[in-house]
Amino acid sequence: MSNCIFCKIVAGEIPSRKVYEDEDILAFHDINPAAPVHFLIIPKKHIPTLADATPEDIPVLGKIMAMAGKLAQQEGCADGFRTIVNTGRVGCQEVYHLHVHILGGTQPLGPMLMKHS
C-alpha cells in the first residue's frame, strides 16, 4: 500500500527505532509512547485490520504473539506487559495496517478501557 505509513517503515522509506526484524515481522518503538515501554509489532505483509486476517495469515499472527513476550522482556518488561490490537473505527485504530501494541514498564498500567458516558 503506497500510502501506508507502516508499509513505508517496512520498506525503509521512513526511519524507525527497531526492536526486532525478520522476514515476516517488524517491531519498533511507538513515536508517541503511552507507557515507559511501548513498541509495535507488525506483519511486513499489509493486512489492514485484524478483521481482514485470513487463515493464510495464521503463521505470521502466531509469530507476532510468540515474539511479544520475548521482546517485551528484552525491552524491560520483567513483571508483565499489556498487548493491545485496535481494530477498525470503533476499536480506535489509527493506522490501517494490523499492529500489536506492547506496553509496560515497572508500574501497573491502570485501567485498560476508557469509560463512556
Active site residues per annotation = 99
Could you please report the per-residue DSSP string of 63-98?
HHHHHHHHHHHHTT-TT-EEEE---TTTTT--SSS-
C-alpha cell at 17: 527505532
Residue showing cell 509512547 = 33
E strand or H helix that includes residue 7: helix 5-10
**27 contacts: CB under 8 Å, gap ≥ 6:** 18, 19, 20, 21, 39, 40, 41, 42, 67, 71, 102
